[in-house]
Amino acid sequence: MRSAAPLSASLQGEGQGEGWPLAPILSPPHNPSPFHEQGNGEKETRKAIRMSPANHPLRPFLAGDTMALRELFAQSVEELTQDDYDEDQRLAWVATAADAEAFQARLAQSLTLVVHTQGEYLGFASLKDNKTIDMLFVHPYHAGQGVGSALLTALEKIAAARGAETLTADVSDTAQEFFEKHGFEATHRNSVPLDEEWLSNTTMSKRLKPAAASTAGPARPQ
């Protein structure tokens, strides 16, 4: 039976010819702030975080989250994708996070939001280059409770505020229905090589509504 949970959004590479996440990259010397972006991105990021549901509070990724999010990633893949990927495929997928430094760098170099409440990590998602949902994973214990929706909605608002017209994602077979419910449409199928395994995913996209312009204050008398 297919899980209805939002999970494992992205199966994609870092560039042309690389068909999987977590390509080897160097960790930055510090954790860059996701607020240092163009235009009104900082304001909209903070607004999206403030407006997150009380039971799904969002905050930016910190370097100290790395190990917990690696574990969440592995559990999400292993437990929530069994209907769509066999054991060898899941093991190959989980192994892409074996390098903690590369995993941290991937999250830090995107705008990554985390749902963390009462000491527990519920999920995380990252926006790359203001146009791609790079990763979106929810802990199995909290699947189907709105965590993925809160993360995706926040990233959509941030991308729109920064001028993006379209969002794309390379979506796992497990997560395709979730993205469809959020207005994404399939554009083409992919076969992704990982070690000796091949995994399928679907590139999906969504047109974004332009962010509302800030309301100007009353004109001063001349």
Give φ, ψ of 190 to 5 degrees: -135, 150
Higher pLDDT, 16 or 156: 156
pTM: 0.77
Give the CATH fold of the 41-207 domain.
Aminopeptidase (3.40.630)
Task: Note the pLDDT tens digit of each residue in 99-132.
Answer: 999 999 999 999 999 999 999 999 999 999 999 9
49 pLDDT exceeds 80? Answer: no
The C-alpha atoms of residue 213 and residue 198 are separated, in whole angstroms, by 45
Question: What is the domain partition of the chain in residue ranges?
Answer: 41-207
Higher pLDDT, 4 or 208: 208
Contact indicator for 115, 124 with CB cutoff of 8 Å: yes
Higher pLDDT, 8 or 55: 55
Helix (H) or strand (E) run with residue 108 in it = helix 100-108
| Locus of tokens 């497990």 | 174
197-207 and 185-194 strand pairing:
antiparallel
Contact indicator for 80, 172 with CB cutoff of 8 Å: no
Task: Note the pLDDT tens digit of each residue in 157-211.
Answer: 999 999 999 999 999 999 999 999 999 999 999 999 998 999 999 999 999 988 7
- For the sheet with 185-194, list strands across it: 58-60, 111-117, 120-128, 132-138, 166-172, 197-207, 185-194
79 pLDDT exceeds 70? Answer: yes
